[in-house]
Amino acid sequence: MRHSSEIVRTDATTIAKMVSSQETQAREVLEAFLERISRYNDALRAFVYVDTEGARTRASEIDREIKRGTTYRMAGVPIAVKDVISVKGLPLTCGSKILRGYVPPYDATVIARLRKAGCVIVGMTNTDEFAMGSSTENSAYGPSINPWMQSRVPGGSSGGSAVAVAAGMAAIGLGSDTGGSVRLPASFVGVYGLKPSYGAVSRFGLVAFSNSIEQIGIFARSIGDLKLTYSVISGADPLDGTTLTFDWNLTTEEGTKVNAFRAGKVIEMSGEGVEPPVLEALDRTVQTLKRYSIQIENVNIPHLENCLAAYYLIAMSEASSNLARFDGVRYGNRVKTEGNWNEEYSRVRALFGSEVKRRVILGAHALSSGFFSMYYDKAARFRTLIKSEFESAFRNYDLLIGPTSPSPAFRLGERTLDPVQMYLSDVDTVPMNLTGVPALSVPTGFANAEGGLLPVATQLIAPYGREDTIFSIASLLEKAGVSAPKVVNPWGNIL
Amino acid sequence: MKIGLEIHVQLNRLRSKLFCGCRADYYTLSPNSNVCAVCLGLPGSLPVLNSGAVRQAIMVSLALRANPSTRFNFVRKNYFYPDMPKNFQISQYDKAGGAPVSKGGEMELTTDAQKPLRVKLTRIQIEEDPGRLFHPSGLGSSKYTLVDYNRAGVGLLEIVTQPDLSTPREARLLITKLRSILEHLGVCNTSLEGAMRVDANISTDGNNRVEIKNISSYKDVERALEYEAVRQSQLIALGKPIERETRHWLEEKGTTSSSRAKEEEQDYRYFPEPDIPAVELTEDYIKDIQGSLPELPDSRASRFCREYGLTPYDAGVLVLDKALADYFEETVRLYPKPRIVSNWIQTELLRQLNEKKQEISELRFGPKELAEMLSMIDKGEISGKTGKKVVMEMALTGEGPKSVVERLGLARLGDEAAIRALAQTVFKENPNAVKDALKNPEAVNFLVGQIMKKISGRADPEITNRVVRGLLKAQTSS
């Protein structure tokens, strides 16, 4: 029997092997993680709901099944799920008061696939309300805290899952990335965070914020774990008409051709306003790739800086429509009231937090007649333009690189009073949502702050559908030791 | 008067709803039992387009001579209403980045005028039906409202005509013709409640356009428009303006009431539906559907004239109701005298249906019974007049013709002795008529008529005549 701190440091791939070979038990693995949760969750607020009993039942069941000869690809791997993804029987609140009391009667496709692969769902993790935010400070439960430094946000909106993986409360975390909501927190807490190509992973069961740009993403502490999880959850789903299956095979050993690769460093992401430790980490990445005979050149994406405006217009417009269904009639928090249904709706919808209200109002405005062509439609046309700029860059390069965020984790409260400052946190991540290309945040270094360390990250961006390229390059960085995600105890003590 | 229609047709012959696996034929199910995460709009659920609905939409487009698009998409129409699970409706639109399944189209109507009336269509679009609201004690006074989502998400086609109609009657003709086309295509069981619902735009003498919503039965279109035409002409006569507004058809009262003024017109904030990728169809796919379209009412009518020798008018009446035309053809198969069958259907059967306010499908006897009855007339087992009575009885009880004739003793009386006995009674009762008949051969008919009356016209006319003349001759000679 291993020491429990050893178990929580073990990557998911190894856990799955050990549980499958009965070297250890799924139940034992789970207890190690549950113990971390009970010790640290009050301070970190990663989980908003822990399904202790359900997880124990499932872990024991997996152990029994394995004894009977059943095989699983992710046997006994404990998973943290962002509170915007439907898990049958577990409360789903989207970090909002409006959904209190709602328990989904069905599993999201990703959850069904992970269950089938032998994963254990540990619980639901904190998020900005309806995934709208970059710090988890918009959660009705209060913010999650960055385990590296008590004064810092973990990034958002999928901050809870990021913290759970970084602090060893789960082996793998699921998030959703609408404008950077997986990659930003991954960079702030020093783990890998993947936003897949649009359509690679089913959104069935993901509560929609902005349907045309978001994807369910993965937090992991090794590229092997990332690949394993990605290969389990990705692929066409009959329940999501926007999904497809890419025709490359992740299980074969890729990376043989990477030395012929050309990579472009995106100038617009790595210039003014980027903090030195972030640039140093980017430079370290570039030097490492060069050592592997990968050519690196500077590349321009001329309209990159306009992405943020277009992104927020599209995301808010879609959100204004998506969130209309939360009216208390069919599910969620019902406000008892006298009066007609307009009055009842108004009272129920007063339960939305202020950032959600802001976005719904702005989005409804952007779609309204007289403003549609000026706002939504213009943003949609811009999307075509920026897609073509990425496509032309990818005609010359197999990969683009830049920072995930211009700065490490900011302070709690630092940006809450200025929404535009908060929106600017996503400046390097939203272009990949607008264009649908896959991107991975790789922890590539640290910044010194307030006498402690804060992780910084580099972003690997591949052409549409080429997650294989990302995994190949990230594996090199992992092998070279440029990236080495750690499990961390609060505050900043590496386990 | 200018009238344009928006007709909503439920694709209720599909196996499932437009975006999920729930049933499209929800009519007999208990409330909220035909629902799932998708059609209830549960958080995280996604719509997946029913490809059968696309096929049927293309069929209807081609049958109505519209131009199907090889690329179309869906849009969201955003508004709050408790019957809409998502508070937006997935629909189609020709603006805001939307492209409907087809544009244009035309229907040809037979009116009293020499030339057929051509009504142009604007577009056809696919959309989802909302749920249904129940106000337990009426719309205004209920303390609460119940919602049934069984219908939510059922596929609808919205067929929009240009304002080419000029009378309520023409509007009815268009609906009737459309109904028959849909039945021939097999895309809609139009007799189910709410399967065809109509919104009508009506304007008189260049005045403001008024929209009448909620005409939930195709049968009420003419009635609603007639009411509205009268209401508007009264306003004009009084010199009052006609407001541009939306009015609600109140079925029970047979009136319309104002529901929304123009200033309150909603902004639906249309934008392309992100969860459903644009649909791309090949020309071959459309050609294939074109090639496999079933026979439609117009060509069926021509065939009836050609094959069965019917008049265009008779053929036209039959094909306006697919079930009626089917009934006709099945009867002809069993009793191959088409014009006789057509006459019987158009007089006696339609009379029965009108009296009972029934559809042909509800008639209690089928082609087999009708054919059998007609054969009995041919064989002399009953008279034509008795035949009408048999039809009435069959419609009432659902018995076969033989059983009706037997039970009611309707068989034609051909027994000479029996007729003679009857005649002798009549002679005794009408001595004056007998005297007349002896002088004037014309008066013979009165005596024959009296005999017939005694047994409801069932006596064989030939034998009766012979018997009467025989008796008269006997009196002369005595």
pLDDT of B477 above 80: no
pLDDT attached to residue B142: 78
Tens digit of each residue's pLDDT (9 = 90 or more) over B112-138: 888 899 999 999 999 999 999 998 887
Q: Is residue A8 part of a domain?
A: yes
Chain B contact for A91 (CB, 8 A cutoff): no
Chain B contact for A104 (CB, 8 A cutoff): yes
- Exposed e or buried b for every residue in B329-362, given b needs 16+ CB within 10 A? bbbbebbebbeebbebbbebbeebbeeeeeebee
**Cβ contacts (< 8 Å) between A239 and chain B: which residues?**
46, 48
Range with the poorest average pLDDT among A406-410, B149-153, B295-299, B442-446: B442-446
Cα atoms found within 13 Å of the Cα of residue A304, Cβ hemisphere only? 19
Same-domain pairing of B442 and B389:
no
pLDDT of A83 above 50: yes
pLDDT attached to residue A256: 53
Q: What distance in Å separates the CA atoms of residue B123 and residue B125, rounded to the nearest whole number?
A: 7
The full DSSP string for B127-195 is: EE---EEE-TT-TTT-S--EEE-TTTT-EEEEEEE-S-B-SHHHHHHHHHHHHHHHHHHTS--TTSTTS
- Given the residues A20, A181, A407, A472, select the one marked as catalytic: A181
Q: What distance in Å separates the CA atoms of residue A485 and residue A185, rounded to the nearest whole number?
A: 13
Residue B376, phi then psi, degrees to nearest 5: -65, -35
Same-domain pairing of B271 and B188:
yes
* Residue B77 lies in domain: 2-288
Annotated active-site residue A20? The verdict is no
Q: What distance in Å separates the CA atoms of residue B47 and residue B41, rounded to the nearest whole number?
A: 9
pLDDT of A252 above 70: no
Range with the poorest average pLDDT among A468-477, B294-303, B328-337, B399-408: B399-408
Q: What distance in Å separates the CA atoms of residue B45 and residue B35, rounded to the nearest whole number?
A: 12
Q: Report how far apart, in Å, the C-alpha atoms of B300 and of each of A122, B179, B297, B332, B443 are.
A: 66, 15, 5, 15, 50
Q: Which of B352, B386, B408 is the last residue of a domain?
A: B408
Chain B contact for A206 (CB, 8 A cutoff): yes
What CATH code is carried by the domain that includes residue A158?
3.90.1300.10
Measured in angstroms, the CA of A335 and the nearest CA of chain B are apart by 15
Region A84-97: mean pLDDT is 98
Q: Which of B264, B288, B312 is the last residue of a domain?
A: B288
Tens digit of each residue's pLDDT (9 = 90 or more) over A418-444: 998 999 999 999 999 999 999 999 999
The full DSSP string for A358-414 is: HHHHHHHHHHSTTTTTTTHHHHHHHHHHHHHHHHHHHHH-SEEEEES-SSSPPBTTS
What CATH code is carried by the domain that includes residue B431?
1.10.10.410
Region A10-27: mean pLDDT is 97
Q: Is residue A162 part of a domain?
A: yes
Same-domain pairing of B397 and B433:
no
Q: Are B269 and A364 a contacting pair at CB < 8 A?
A: yes
Residue B409: which pLDDT band, with cuts at 50, 70 and 90? confident
pLDDT attached to residue B448: 86
Range with the poorest average pLDDT among A216-220, A326-330, B310-314: A326-330
* Residue A46 lies in domain: 4-233
Chain B contact for A240 (CB, 8 A cutoff): yes
pLDDT attached to residue B66: 97
Same-domain pairing of B171 and B275:
yes
pLDDT of B450 above 70: yes
Say which residue the tokens 């009412």 belong to.
B297
Please give the mean pLDDT across all residues of chain A: 95
For chains A and B, count residue pairs whose Cβ atoms are closer than 8 Å.
107
Measured in angstroms, the CA of B190 and the nearest CA of chain A are apart by 31
Region A40-53: mean pLDDT is 98
Which of B82, B88, B145 shows the shortest C-beta gap to A321?
B88
Contacts of A153 (CB under 8 A, 6+ apart): A135, A136, A137, A143, A144, A145, A146, A159, A188, A409, A410, A411, A412, A414
Tens digit of each residue's pLDDT (9 = 90 or more) over B203-255: 988 888 999 998 988 789 999 999 999 999 999 999 999 988 999 998 888 89
**Cβ contacts (< 8 Å) between A92 and chain B: which residues?**
43-44
Range with the poorest average pLDDT among A472-476, B359-363, B443-447: B443-447
Q: Which of B408, B435, B452 is the last residue of a domain?
A: B408
Domain count, chain B: 3
Region A449-458: mean pLDDT is 96
Region A386-392: mean pLDDT is 98
Annotated active-site residue A82? The verdict is yes
Measured in angstroms, the CA of A276 and the nearest CA of chain B are apart by 39
Q: Are A367 and B97 a contacting pair at CB < 8 A?
A: no
pLDDT of B176 above 80: yes
Domain count, chain A: 1
**Cβ contacts (< 8 Å) between A362 and chain B: which residues?**
none
The full 3-state SS of A231-260, as one line of letters, equals: HHHECCECCECCCCCCCCCCCCCCCCCHHH
How much is the pTM? 0.91
Region B2-16: mean pLDDT is 97
Measured in angstroms, the CA of B77 and the nearest CA of chain A are apart by 9
Region B75-90: mean pLDDT is 95
pLDDT of B412 above 70: yes
Residue A1: which pLDDT band, with cuts at 50, 70 and 90? very low
Same-domain pairing of B221 and B249:
yes
Same-domain pairing of B301 and B387:
yes
Among chain A residues, CA nearest to B81 = A341
Same-domain pairing of B18 and B115:
yes
**Cβ contacts (< 8 Å) between B44 and chain A: which residues?**
84-86, 92, 104, 108, 203-208
Q: Is residue A380 part of a domain?
A: no
pLDDT attached to residue B380: 79
Tens digit of each residue's pLDDT (9 = 90 or more) over A285-322: 999 999 999 999 999 999 999 999 999 999 999 999 99
Same-domain pairing of B275 and B299:
no
Same-domain pairing of B366 and B455:
no
Annotated active-site residue A4? The verdict is no
pLDDT attached to residue A184: 98
Token readout for A140 is 């009705």
Residue A2: which pLDDT band, with cuts at 50, 70 and 90? low
Q: Is residue A107 part of a domain?
A: yes
Nearest alpha carbon to residue B250 among B216, B211, B204: B216
Answer whether A205's CB lies under 8 Å from A109's CB: yes
> DSSP letter at A419?
H
Same-domain pairing of B45 and B176:
yes
Tens digit of each residue's pLDDT (9 = 90 or more) over B372-388: 999 999 987 888 888 99
Nearest alpha carbon to residue A45 among A12, A78, A83: A83
Q: Are A325 and B76 a contacting pair at CB < 8 A?
A: no
Tens digit of each residue's pLDDT (9 = 90 or more) over A351-368: 999 999 999 999 999 999
Token readout for A37 is 């949760």
Residue B322: which pLDDT band, with cuts at 50, 70 and 90? very high
Q: Are A203 and B46 a contacting pair at CB < 8 A?
A: yes
Q: Is residue A318 part of a domain?
A: no
Region B394-406: mean pLDDT is 91
Answer whether A103's CB lies under 8 Å from A89's CB: yes
pLDDT attached to residue B263: 58
Q: How many degrees, rounded to 5, is the angle at CA B116 between CA B110 and CA B120?
A: 100
Say which residue the tokens 């003024």 belong to.
B261
Measured in angstroms, the CA of A96 and the nearest CA of chain B are apart by 13
